[in-house]
C-alpha cells in the first residue's frame, strides 16, 4: 500500500504568514509517501526548501527557476528518491504561459512509479480550456507509459478546478469520450469516498463568500487499464479541515488516498 495526497497551499494569499506553521504541521502529521502540491511558494517563504529540510522529502518542481515568474509552482514530494522529473506548459489561451503539468519518476519499494501533478485553469466558463489541458496531460502520460500495462499505473494528482460531473472530468474518467484512446483514470473519491467530499467548502473560513462553494476540485487518480489490484484505491479522506492553533492552513482541503500495490 502507498499513501498519495494532493493539496493546494494557496501560496501567499490571505493570512499567509500565520498559515505556514499550520501547513507544515498538517503535512508532517499526514505522513504521506507522495504528495502533489499546487500554489507552492518557491521564494518567500520557500516551501520546497522546507519540504526537504523539515519533512525529509525529495521534491520536484515546476516551473523551474529559469522559467519561474511569480514564485508559484507545482511540486511532487516523495519519501523515496526521484530518479528524474520534467514538466510541460499547458495551453492557457492568450495568457502568458504559467500552467504546467509536472511529472516525476520515483524509485519506490513497490517498483518504479510515474506521478503527474497539475493545476488547471480556473473559471466557471473555462471548461473547454480545461479539456484542452487535460488532453495534453493524457497525451503526455500515454507517451511516457508506452505499451507497458504491467507495472504500477500512472498516478495523476492535482487541483483540476472542475467538479466530477463536468465534461472535463467525465471525459477523464471514462464517462465521456476519452481524451486518448484506451486511457482513462479512476477517481479515488468516487470509488471509496463518502458524501460529496468538497475540497472547496463554505465550512472553510477563507471560502465563506465564494460564488460557488461545496465543490470537489482536488483529486487522486490512477490510470486504467492496469494490472489489478495495483493502483486500486483502498481508502480516501480529506485533510486540512481542522484548524491548527486556531488557523486553517489553506482555502482548499487536501485529499489523501491509500492505493493497493
CATH number at residue 66: 3.60.10.10
pLDDT exceeds cutoff 80 at 66: no
- C-alpha cell, 132: 484542452
**Domain boundaries, position 187:** 2-259
Cell numbers found for residue 47? 516551501
The pLDDT tens digits of the residues spanning 135-180 come to 999 999 999 998 887 899 999 999 999 999 999 999 999 999 999 9
Residues in the chain: 261
Question: How many structural domains does the chain have?
Answer: 1
Would you state the cell numbers that stand for residue 186, as one nine-digit string?
Answer: 479512476
pTM of the model: 0.96
Provide the pLDDT for residue 24: 96
Cell 500554489, located at residue: 39
Structure-block grid coordinates of residue 130: 480545461
253 neighbors 204 (Cβ within 8 angstroms): yes
Q: With residue 138 as reference, give the H or E element that holds it.
A: helix 127-145
Amino acid at each position: 500500500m502507498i499513501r498519495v495526497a494532493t493539496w493546494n497551499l494557496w501560496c501567499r494569499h490571505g493570512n499567509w504568514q500565520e498559515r505556514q506553521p499550520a501547513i507544515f504541521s498538517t503535512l508532517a502529521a499526514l505522513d504521506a509517501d507522495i504528495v502533489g502540491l499546487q500554489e507552492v511558494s518557491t521564494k518567500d517563504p520557500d516551501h520546497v526548501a522546507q519540504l526537504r529540510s523539515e519533512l525529509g522529502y525529495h521534491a520536484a518542481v515546476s516551473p523551474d527557476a529559469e522559467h519561474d515568474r511569480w514564485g508559484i509552482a507545482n511540486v511532487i514530494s516523495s519519501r523515496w528518491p526521484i530518479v528524474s522529473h520534467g514538466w510541460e506548459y499547458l495551453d492557457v489561451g492568450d495568457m502568458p504561459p504559467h500552467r504546467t503539468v509536472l511529472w516525476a519518476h520515483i524509485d519506490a519499494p513497490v517498483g518504479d512509479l510515474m506521478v503527474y501533478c497539475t493545476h488547471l485553469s480556473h473559471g466557471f466558463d473555462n471548461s473547454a480550456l480545461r479539456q484542452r489541458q487535460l488532453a495534453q496531460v493524457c497525451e503526455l502520460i500515454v507517451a511516457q507509459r508506452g505499451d507497458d500495462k504491467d507495472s504500477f499505473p500512472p498516478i495523476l494528482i492535482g487541483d483540476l478546478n472542475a467538479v466530477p460531473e463536468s465534461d472535463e472530468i467525465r471525459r477523464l474518467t471514462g464517462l465521456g469520450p476519452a481524451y486518448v484512446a484506451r486511457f482513462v483514470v479512476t477517481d479515488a473519491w468516487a470509488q471509496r469516498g463518502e458524501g460529496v467530499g468538497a475540497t472547496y467548502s463554505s465550512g472553510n473560513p477563507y471560502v465563506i463568500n465564494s460564488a460557488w462553494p461545496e465543490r470537489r476540485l482536488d483529486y487522486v487518480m490512477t490510470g486504467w487499464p492496469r494490472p489489478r489490484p495495483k493502483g486500486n484505491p483502498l481508502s480516501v479522506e480529506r485533510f486540512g479541515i481542522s484548524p491548527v492553533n486556531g488557523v486553517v492552513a489553506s482555502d482548499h482541503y487536501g485529499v489523501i488516498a491509500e492505493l493497493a500495490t
